[in-house]
Structure 1
């Protein structure tokens, strides 16, 4: 991921999935606010597992990019002894994140096909595991992100933490619109921040004043000339994060207002025919039933007569 494409490509993946989730959460809540209970993934109108297929395809593509396309020799291992070189450790870490996301999508797809009772809960757990691995590997990164890079990646960990927390909360609060909304919004913001990180950090014209884009052991780094330039660069990163967050939140509010008008609440009716018939039967007077009953034959007349009448 230490390139422009390495950040923008997964960023677009998170952005598309996040927007799809945000759209479906808002639509489902606007139409069915009383029975709102969203799944961890949403089917498309014609392709039920489209979202999971896209996640699996994106995860597998990222693995290939990190391990076999990105390296200069197109394979990540040392050809002399087939060990992992130090300059390729970050490729394996990024590929591990993608493989965890791929694992979540593959098992969620299988759970839905076999209709397991606890499939939804296990899918949430696998989704939380994917975010946990992503957070752990970015926190314990083999590449020592220093200076401007560290600031970008530290703020990225904040967004991943929100995704992890809201995914775990989705197990205990499955009918909470706020939890689903924030989880989708965090995925959107991950995509936005990945794109901001890739474009602003690896495009020479956008490098802060006093810093420069250089190559270090086959990896792009952004060192700064002095402490003052570094402090200014970090402050600019914080402003970019705040502006991006405000833009994403403002868009989500507008998106909610727009979908609320487009998809009004759908009246939910219950079948009360059987219940109404039963109530009518229970409240019907026994005397009325006795009067309305007409015997069809002599045997029925005998059943209606009391023993005292027969003695007379």
Structure 2
């Protein structure tokens, strides 16, 4: 859940792992409660949903007219994620007492970029995706292809892929396995490029992680890829990239069952980005840059006129609308932005 807690918003030394970027709103001294309403219980009842429209009116209006109107703002403006990259439940100690379902989740690292999927209403959103397994599960669970949203009516937009139960010789059988798919909201920043989505129909996120739980094994590193395409969603090439040294009593089948379970982390479905013409998006990117240069010159002109005491409120409003359209509605760009008079 790190992606929706304060550490992903604050970033830097507060992120997991440390050193990830802070949200662009942090530098502007914007607090969580400035965007997220709270209830009777204060921060304990904070509203998870927030809207960008309260502050970015021109952008929301431009997006509503755009070919990207079914795209969440964070889909473009979140580029890297932190937090869990693997979770295994197995025998261990909790509060110094033996427990059959100790959570080994300290596989922390970055995923870049987020994988875009459609939510319950068909709107594209960015997600964090990672494998989960729980040993010692007594029942047999059959796989269910595709994603299941935890709250079909939209209370949250988190989902999972039910992979079923698995076993292997000497394991803590059975293992219930699933792929966790969670909507992300931070850290917001400068947008991804058009090509990062539209150069290929297949989405690929690169993941590295560092295991540092107090049980199981000494710290070690690993990596994996999240591949989302026309044939399905796949967490692939999971591997340790440094030596695994077991602690006393540590067992691979408890804290790292993924090593024995193998290549099971996949589900069928179409998770591809709609096919587009890469050349078209290269041209749009160039048009956006040219428009931004013109807007920068206009901004300087308006500031100079403001400094002289001129009333340029209407022109400033038009400038904001033009800026929003240039970036968020590029498909209708037909001419260079002209100087407001």
Q: TM-score, normalised by structure 1?
A: 0.25
Which has the higher relative contact order, 1 or 2, with Cα contacts under 8 A spaced 6 or more apart? 1
Higher CA-based Rg: 1
Structure (1/2) with the larger strand percentage: 2
